[in-house]
Amino acid sequence: MLRNIVLCLLLIVTPRFADGAVLYLVDLFNNIGRPIQLLDARTGSVWTAISPGESKGVMYWEGVTLRVSGRSLHFSRVDPPKEYTRGLFSVTFKAQLNPDLRIYLLPPNSQPPVTHTPPQPRGFPLSAR
């Protein structure tokens, strides 16, 4: 339901802003075998969780902040190449959090879990800082 609300909001709001930045929705797959929590980067509060083997749509404006086994991880934003994105009004892409705690970009037609991640474009996989 949250994903549907976010997608509806994205259809209302233009994904490109005055400074040329794109608002992305990343379809993030949890491939680490334990739950992850998505955090508000400013407050640190949990706003949703992704169970092992599940995906959720996540707003990707300034990056993504996760909590894994009590450890907070922030992944800074790196824009994916256009060939990895989909959408007209909202721009989405697929990614997978792997056991090495890095976020891998997935081809648009892939079905997670992807056991052998393809070669990654510049800036990927994302590593937490």
- What does the angle CA 36 – CA 37 – CA 38 come to, to the nearest 5 degrees? 125
pTM for this prediction: 0.82
Q: What is the pLDDT of residues 42-88, one digit of tens each?
A: 888 998 999 999 999 988 888 999 999 999 999 999 999 999 999 87
Rounded CA separation 41/88 (Å): 27
